[in-house]
Structure 1
Amino acid sequence: MKYLGNISMGFGRNTALLRIFLFFSVSVFGAQALAACSRTINVPLAATGRSVIINGEKIDGIYPDILRNLTETCKFTLTAVPRARMELMFETGRADLLIPASRTPKRDEHGIFIPMIYNRATIISIDSNRPVITSAQDLLDKKDLKVVLVRGFDYGPTYQDLIRQLNKQGRLFFDADPLSVARLLKAGIADITIMAPSILAGAMMDDARVQDMLDKLRVEPIPELPWGDSGAYISNRSLNKEDKAALKDLLEQVAKSGTVWKGFMRYYPASVLMESIRPR
């Protein structure tokens, strides 16, 4: 169990510098001979910490900036949607990319996965004197603790099994996005959430209503939620063979360039990344 410690509020304000940095990083391979997409690629996006920042109709963050700097090969239309709708759009062939996304068996049924970083979901709560939670069963046994999750998040079979069991116990809430989850934790309506710490901390950094909680976040990894792959899914349903191949080549080049990890280092303090994000 660890605490995130002193988190600077300035990381979310470096968007312009990050875009310049990403432009030159992506340009390293952008000039290579890659097949172009035959049409504009539809990418719905949901608020995901600093990975995707939604402010009204404005979309920023690590992944949107990367996609915007790939237009010499493929053009992307970015639209803001709730996370659950984003997942449904991908499953039903109305989205060409699902990004960012942890790799799961369910998503593998609908698309081609391109790994970009490693991530990990942990148990997160506000500082308290309760005993440390060391396993999924330990969480299930602490029936007085209420749990809130983001609707549409998925960290694999164990995570889905936890959802089913917590639902049976009547202890589970869902909300639309990480910031809403943070507000429920602050209000005491819920005691615990499960997600990558970078997502929750990123959502809290620039919101005055919850900024005071940042240094109080308590992070507890459990063995049932280990490190896994995170990256992008390319739709098997919405794209033709040529466009799937073009996107696969392009996103694999992004992954190999290290641009994604460098973006995380620009946006986040090291204390957050060490608990939730690792380079490949």
Structure 2
Amino acid sequence: MERQEDDVTSAQSHRQFRHGREKDEHVFRVAGRARRGRLGPGADAGVGDAVRGGGLLAADPRAGGAHRHERGDLGRRGRGVYPDLLRKVSAETGCQFEFVVVPRARVEAMFAASGADVLVPATRTSQRDLHGDFIPMMKARPMLISLSSDRAPVESLAELGERRELRVAVVRGFDYGEPYQDLLRTLKAQRRLVVEADVAAVVRALERNLADVTVMAPSILAGTLLQDSKTRPLLDRLRLEAMAELTWTDSGIYLSRHLPAKDREVLGDALERNSRSGTVWKTLQKHYPAGSYEEGLKALGAPK
């Protein structure tokens, strides 16, 4: 089953670098996705948020999480890990971020076609490397997630493909690599695939017994559950299982190569400073309760 959704993306280039850099106004497009009224995870990283002329949003599911979405400028209304980071970068560099809502399917295409300046958060892929410079912020991994039950454990995507009794709900547009795409093709052929527009719809499918399991970063699901007092109790019922094919990967931010080199340098330096200082990880810990993200996210430099 598929549903339509609204997603988000990005900002445009005026310029305004303070601190003796540039003085003209600079506004960046940031690619991502969001539901009406709330910020949801986007492409495939996890903790996601993005930007341009009207609303805050989230991107990439492997990074980890959903955040409240309110129309307005980043400085006053953005809430979440990456909105906080971008607010800090804005204060440090004078760079301005605006927000706009676009269909989810257009996010990757916009970044590839220079229609978005920043993709955040995002998992590093060879295809994205063709269009942007990647700055890692944390490590992330998707997992098999279900509500607690006494079913036999699943250890790999290959095994999941063989467990015909299990119906699998996924978010349209999430991508965790070729093993994941192989699984989707197998599930579709077996008529066990439930495709939803967003994470909230996946939660409903699990809760209503329309699906048995899902695959995504635990922090993405946790972020969605935390938004609603009715779904928050489900956090204690989550069953998380590591899949052999889904290993830890870098999650972070892409800066488009269509940006002027000086702009990329200024933004890249600010983002790397915040990454090295542990700012992103500390911000994550402020937004997510202990136990809701550790299985699927870890700080850069943490033991493997």
Q: Do the structures match in fold with TM over 0.5?
A: yes
Task: Please tell me whether residue 260 in structure 1 is matched to residue 247 in structure 2.
Answer: no
Unaligned runs of at least 5 residues, structure 1? 1-29
> 2:64 is matched with which residue?
none
Task: Please tell me whether residue 145 in structure 1 is matched to residue 174 in structure 2.
Answer: no
8 Å contact kept, 1:117–1:230:
yes
> 1:273 is matched with which residue?
293
> 1:240 is matched with which residue?
260
Structure 2 CA distance for partners of 1:89 and 1:36, relative to 1, 3 Å = farther
> 1:161 is matched with which residue?
182
Q: Aligned-pair distance for 1:259?
A: 0.8
> 2:12 is matched with which residue?
none
- State the one-letter code of the partner of 2:114: G
> 1:192 is matched with which residue?
213
> 1:229 is matched with which residue?
250
Structure 2 CA distance for partners of 1:33 and 1:194, relative to 1, 3 Å = farther
Encode CA deviations 1:132-156: one digit per residue, 9 max, x unaligned.
Answer: 0011111000112111112222222
Task: Please tell me whether residue 60 in structure 1 is matched to residue 60 in structure 2.
Answer: no
Structure 2 CA distance for partners of 1:130 and 1:97, relative to 1, 3 Å = same
Q: Which has the higher contact order (CA 8 A, sep 6+)?
A: 1
Aligned residue for 1:71, secondary structure, equals: helix
Q: CA RMSD in A?
A: 2.5
> In structure 2, which of residues 121, 135, 153 is the aligned counterpart of residue 132 of structure 1?
153
% same residue: 42
Please identify which structure carries the higher helix content: 1
Rounded to whole Å, the distance in 2 between the matches of 1:35 and 1:142 is 58
Matches within 5 A, 1:1-280: 39-46=26-33, 47-48=40-41, 51-52=48-49, 53-57=67-71, 59-72=78-91, 73=93, 74-81=95-102, 83-236=104-257, 238-280=258-300
Rounded to whole Å, the distance in 1 between the matches of 2:23 and 2:118 is 16
Structure 2 CA distance for partners of 1:167 and 1:55, relative to 1, 3 Å = same
- State the one-letter code of the partner of 2:284: F
Rounded to whole Å, the distance in 2 between the matches of 1:134 and 1:199 is 21
Structure 2 CA distance for partners of 1:127 and 1:79, relative to 1, 3 Å = same
Runs of 4 or more, structure 1, over 6 Å off, are 30-38
- State the one-letter code of the partner of 1:262: K
Rounded to whole Å, the distance in 2 between the matches of 1:133 and 1:32 is 54
Encode CA deviations 1:74-104: one digit per residue, 9 max, x unaligned.
Answer: 2211334554332332222211111011222
Rounded to whole Å, the distance in 2 between the matches of 1:234 and 1:248 is 8
Q: Aligned-pair distance for 1:109?
A: 2.6
- State the one-letter code of the partner of 1:65: D
Rounded to whole Å, the distance in 1 between the matches of 2:206 and 2:256 is 35
Equivalent residues, number: 250
Structure 2 CA distance for partners of 1:38 and 1:212, relative to 1, 3 Å = same
